[in-house]
Structure 1
């Protein structure tokens, strides 16, 4: 083995992080260390529409139910688990997310609900007249715009045709009309049609956190001060997230890890062997405190 990173993903895996990829045939677990990709394999066979992860949980939205990963959690700081996915009783879902303390999910009929600590689902609405595309924190991105959870219900927060949202730091939303940041209202960051966005959960000031955004024809990185276009891989990126590096996945199942290596065009690519990919989520490492 040539590096510490390779030992972490191919050796005893101590310190390796996990990234989960949602596809039409199931969930793929990918072990990573920095931009080095190690073992990967199908850990749940089902039609998966979305996936969300925190340091304490992994949840998937499937055509049958919202499922959460349960089992013995490892204590090596990776936030990973070798358990199994179990049903939660929500029913078929199209999107899933976390507000930091509880799970949120949406179905195809306009229902959005929040799961309490005792496992019960409480509806936030049953009448949302727009397809939910993504959930993060208190924000719900839909084909009709952005909604926000307030006092146990959803309120209209503006914009139209929202495809993705990341609440970390200052919220960013990817829409058909551009990339928007929440400030004194929604402010345009970049014009164009955007598909995915991710903000680094690094604890830096909210307005200067690193971020990645994917448009229909380009990929952009925010360094804390300005946005710059970065190399685009082959294939359509459908999701992006932060771990020790930036990770992304294409619709046809190519897993990507961002790197400074110009010989790889800025991305290390690994074919996962799945199709119709819908989402990706990196398990957040636990604090050592």
Structure 2
């Protein structure tokens, strides 16, 4: 690690970010600067199903409750129970938290304070993913609208991405929402993600993982192509910042080398390199990134 990157990860962390990884052992915080993976620690011990970034930390779905982890100091977190009960998925849409129970009940509450309120009179289906206002289930994609849930199509959805242009990874393929759902890849899919900084109506950086573990990237020609994958197993989640970040089910945190491909959008395998570090935690289900400054600003 060179001195500049070392300072960003271990000293003055301006420009660095923190990633929170969901695992069967608990929530692991990882500090990252550029394409350098720095120190990491277990900041909450629980069986974690899912998590999502807030302005001050993360909201976490566990097998007992939805909890909120907020940064208080350089190493400390405040853990707040919300009273939701066991959850399988969580998300953040603006200043609203979303959570789904194992029976398909979906509820919302303000990000700061307030009580949970259901979004539908009945449970909808098996919820597999929440991103922004999109909810992916075995019966299709739902959108949060006017305090309720609207079914917007598809079936057997494994993952959703709301940034830029809505994307859905399904058993039938990868779809994007335009004039209806349009197919992008004809193969069973498991994971999809897009850069949240993308302007509405466009896609710049976007990636997906097939059911058999192949990693795909959206190219500048608006076509999806296979790119090199991390070595130790299928990617279960993708996030974006200065570069592209990924985590595998086996607990390896991966960063696409900035010097190789700062946009992370080339579908070819020439010259790409994932830099990785094992976190030593099992059964990883996802992660979220938070800029370090937002986690520490008063």
TM-score of the pair, normalised by structure 1: 0.90
Partner of 2:216: 220
1:59 is aligned to 2:59: yes
Query: Aligned pair 1:91/2:88, yes or no?
Result: no
Distance change >3 Å, CA 202–CA 70, structure 1 → 2: closer
Partner residue, 2:153: 158
- C-alpha contact (below 8 Å) 1:67/1:86 kept by paired residues: yes
Please, which moves more after superposition, 165-174 or 200-209? 200-209
Query: 176, 183, 193: which is aligned to 1:188?
Result: 183
Question: Structure 2: how far apart are the matches of 1:192 and 1:255?
Answer: 26
Match of 2:15?
15
Aligned length: 282
Give the match's secondary structure for 1:208. coil
**Structure 2 equivalent of residue 273 of structure 1:** 280
- Does structure 2 conserve the Cα–Cα contact (< 8 Å) formed by 1:103 and 1:114? yes
Gaps of at least 5 residues in structure 1 are: 75-80
The answer to whether the 8 Å contact 2:52/2:60 transfers is: yes
Unpaired runs of at least 5, structure 2: 262-268
Q: Distance in 1 between matches of 2:171 and 2:94?
A: 27
CA–CA distance in structure 1, aligned partners of residues 165 and 292 of structure 2: 21
- CA shift at 1:73, angstroms? 7.0
Is the 8 Å Cα contact of residues 55 and 284 (structure 1) preserved in structure 2?
A: no
| Partner Cα separation in structure 1 for residue 12 and residue 89 of structure 2 | 34
Q: Which residue of the other structure, out of 176, 179, 189, is the alignment partner of 2:174? A: 179
Structure 2 counterpart of 1:254, from 248, 252, 255: 252
Displacement over 3 Å in runs of 4+: 54-57, 261-265, 284-288
1: distance between equivalents of 2:77 and 2:274? 30
Distance change in 2, residues 1:72/1:237 (3 Å): same
Tell me, in whole angstroms, the C-alpha distance in 2 between the residues paired with 1:175 and 1:164.
7
| Secondary structure of 1:104's aligned partner | strand
- The equivalent residue for 2:28 is 28
Instruction: From 131, 144, 162, give the equivalent of 1:167.
Output: 162
SS of equivalent to 2:202: helix
| TM score, norm. by length of structure 2 | 0.87
Is 1:102 equivalent to 2:76 in the alignment? no
Secondary structure at the counterpart of residue 60 of structure 1: strand
| Alpha-carbon RMSD | 2.3
TM-superposed CA distance for 1:187, in Å, is 0.6
